[in-house]
A and B are shown apart, each in its own frame.
Chain A
Amino acid sequence: MSEQTPKFKVTIDNITVEVAPGTTILNAARMIGGDVTPPAMCYYSKLEGSGGKCRTCLVEVSKGSEKDPRPMPKLVASCRTTVMDGMEVKNITSDKVLDARKGVVEMLLVNHPLDCPVCDQAGECHLQDLSYEHGASTTRYEFDRRTFEKEDLGDYISLHMTRCILCYRCVYTAEQLTQKREHGVLDRGDHAAISTLLGKSLDNEFIGNVIDVCPVGALTDKTFRFKNRVWFTKPVDAHCDCKTCGGKARLWMRGDEVFRVTARKDQWGEVEEWICNDCRFHKKSAKDWVIEGPSKISRHSVISQGHYVGVKKQPVLIDKVIGKDPKMLLDIHSVSDVNRPEVELSKIAGPAHSDDFKNTGK
């Protein structure tokens, strides 16, 4: 038997869960799941050092720990605060949190262009989800939104700086996945911008992952741009024998055509395994891939429209009606003298033809 590691008990919105020491409140809440989980726009569990910036995951700590039961004076960023034994956290049960979160969503949308109708990210945009769930339906901001000069990042990645919420995820991705980070944040305050120094293009072989980590439509795939809406394409899991990456990807198909290749994402919208640029941008044919099957998409997502997962199939109430196939509920033969009642219309394959009636009966 391995040595039992001590577990910390933490109560989030009156639901108690036991977690390993060092776990953040957000990850503890993710273990519970559901509405208890605070939204996260900048935190990314796969990226070290991320989080703490967007402030959407603010929670109230009403009891610090078993040893020191004092509540924390301010709301804390749950993604960067580690749990203590006996900690009590209020997320959706705290009006203070909901109010602050609403404020943060409003702030995030202050300079966001809200150009969802022409944005490629629409349908899988975290900011859309966030403002839908936590935001107000109108804005109180009545000034010009900030704009930026367009910057070219090369042939594969397109940057719409106006949509950026400065979560720094792409900066951490480049820092931690690639040898040499070529882009970063220039300037400060509300004119801070993701940019490369002197207009370099991003050409590391893993740099395409910044598209997947981007919570909004600031970084999008140039090979997919304006080709299709994500909810018109069907996501399927597929793999290939790629030498650079694991080759486990998700294809977004329509018919046999592969419109887009992305990494597979888990239920929190986080990439499971990074994929390389070659898989992402060049293998745009179904022949390049071994298709495993349709991807599981949360049924709340617009992408899963029409194929709901986890919905119970209604039992067929009318199994056999008056001895006929249920699709022919009304038996016209019984009420008509003109037709041939001995000919079962439902047994005729395809549209009925006069020959079907000629050779039988009288």
Chain B
Amino acid sequence: MKLLLEHAHVEGIRYYDTYRKNGGYRSVEKAFKMTPDEIVEEVKKSGLRGRGGAGFPTGMKWSFLAKPEGVPRHLVCNADESEPGTFKDRYLMEFLPHLLIEGLIVSSFALGSHATYIYIRGEYAWIVDILEQAIGEAKNNGWLGKNILNSGFDCEIYVQRGGGAYICGEETALIESLEGKRGNPRIKPPFPAIQGVWMRPTVVNNVETLAAVVPIINNGGEEYAKIGVGRSTGTKLLSVCGNVKKPGIYEIDMTQTVEEFIFSDEYCGGIANGKRLKACIPGGSSVPILPANLLLKTAKGEARYMNYESLSDGGFATGSMMGSGGFIVMDEDQCVVRHTMTLARFYNHESCGQCSPCREGTGWMYKILKNIEYGKGKLSDIDLLWDIQRKIEGNTICPLGDAAAWPVAAAIRHFRDEFEWHVNNPDEAQNRNFGLAHYADPIHIPAGA
């Protein structure tokens, strides 16, 4: 099932002429015959959920937008894709820039935004050029600028490069950064829908979410809602990396089981080099890691599916989250302690330093994990780590604190004996540089472990 990537492999789809020939900008033509409220209604019907990680229903988010008289409103596209393991937006913008622009024009019309911004992470420097070129093409062909399609609607799209901070992917920090300030998350409320960019009502959406508006308008919201299962409607892009045979971007309709997704040749093609699956982070680095047995089957013994509900089945005790779709697969040779340390280092480096639990706690967790990984740990350190993550989670301004705490919590929850093994066998842990393999399915401890 391909909706977003339908034409991704057409030669020259990056350029306007080819894109238009393949049915591009139809949704704009259709949308401008509708009223903005009808478009919002259509998106609501589609059941589209935010693709950036939180999975909040997009139509609902749009309907929260305050519409005071005489105050301009803004749409901001969050292209600050910095979650480790996630690279779906990069692919979309690099190969299908016009799809994003088309979605932006429709969404801007629906929300009444005359100045729409794409906030793109600084490292995607070459994509800025691609987007700028595509915006130029769209403008030359009358899809942007003044009085689009004689509808009387004006819209401009501006591309703003970020400075490369992970925290600027958080919507209020993004807004601060867009305004030219230090990228510190704001304290909510007020939410951006009331006071966003320059204190004006603002909607911030992920690249994939806005691109998904195009097929919703083309095919109708109800048609879109038929794809997928339950409240997970439509298609989702997954960026797969790690020890699989075929890493890359996959578009799924969320009806596959996790087992099918990892092992079938249509998708990841199984674990590379004939190894066994040990663990997986199903939705980008911030979501809890799952061992193989809990990944393939829920705690109730049912098969786990690749959708929002099924992945989060069992809560954090035995489940995880869909997140942003960064699917990181680890084989039996991967060390969970080392992996957790790497993530802790990342969050320590990326914490904005505004609120104290996250600022001090992330650094503390990293130092303890470094000790354990390099054979200087104590058994009490594991309990201490657990206590620190508990003190961070939920007590911070923005979700970065939670995102830093969850991976550590899940790693200890599911792989505690691997941490203990690291503490008890520091020399061996140094030499082998990978952890215990007995989580892999079927249970089997290799010689020498």
Contact = CB atoms under 8 A, between A and B. Distances in A.
A190 B182 contact: no
Given A52-B355, A55-B357, A189-B348, A184 B391 contact: no
Contacts of A110: 360-361, 363-364
Contacts of B354: 53, 166, 168
B136 interface: no
A190 B362 CA distance: 8
Interface in B337-376: 348-357, 359-364, 367
A342 interface: no
Contacts of B361: 107, 110
Interface in A96-155: 100, 103-104, 106-108, 110-111, 140-141, 143, 146
Contact of B353 (A108, A140, A189): A189
A77 interface: yes
A190 B182 CA distance: 16
Given A104-B391, A189-B351, A54 B356 contact: yes
A43 B348 CA distance: 25
Contacts of B445: none
Nearest to B380: A140
Interface stretch (B239-247, B264-272, B276-284, B392-400): B392-400
Interface in B166-206: 167, 182, 187
A80 B187 contact: yes
A100 B395 contact: yes
A184 B182 contact: yes
B356 A107 contact: yes
Contacts of A52: 187, 355, 397
B182, B391, B394 — most chain A CB neighbours (10 Å)? B391
Given A80-B187, A106-B391, A143-B367, A189 B352 contact: yes
Nearest to A187: B353
Contacts of A56: 356
B252 interface: no
A74 interface: yes
B131 interface: no
A188 interface: yes
Contact of B356 (A55, A74, A143): A55
Interface in A293-345: none
B1 interface: no
Given A52-B355, A108-B356, A166-B353, A189 B394 contact: no
A108 B165 CA distance: 24
B10 interface: no
A141 B182 CA distance: 30
A185 interface: yes
B54 interface: no
B125 interface: no
A103 B355 CA distance: 13
Nearest to A168: B354
Given A52-B187, A185-B182, A190-B348, A100 B391 contact: yes
A165 B356 contact: yes
A166 B390 CA distance: 22
A270 B1 CA distance: 62
Nearest to B370: A143
Interface of B: 165, 167, 182, 187, 348-357, 359-364, 367, 384, 387, 390-391, 394-397
Chain A to chain B: the 4 pairs with minimum beta-carbon distance, closest first:
A103-B391, A192-B353, A52-B187, A107-B360
